[in-house]
Amino acid sequence: MRKDKLLEWSGVITAIIYSLLVALNIGAEFLGFTLLLISAILIALWALIGKHIGILLLQIFYAGAGIIGMIRWY
């Protein structure tokens, strides 16, 4: 698998798992926000490689939200 596809799909899968963990409200919010941060980093790298500046900006925001969520749930 190409590096860009690996980054893209790894980011998508971790974002899906993050969404489910937070939505299920099962006490795994810290793990969920950690996955959000990981997902944002992976997709940001993918966006940087592909020069998708709008998506890169969005992922910077998501990474910030992940960090805030981790701090608040710790």
Q: Give pLDDT tens digits for 16-54.
A: 999 999 999 999 999 999 999 999 999 999 999 999 999
- Provide the whole-model pTM: 0.93
CA dist 3 and 66 (Å) reads 24
> How many structural domains comprise the chain?
1
- 21 lies in which domain range? 3-73
CA dist 48 and 4 (Å) reads 10
CA dist 20 and 45 (Å) reads 23
What would the two tokens of residue 7 be? 């980054």
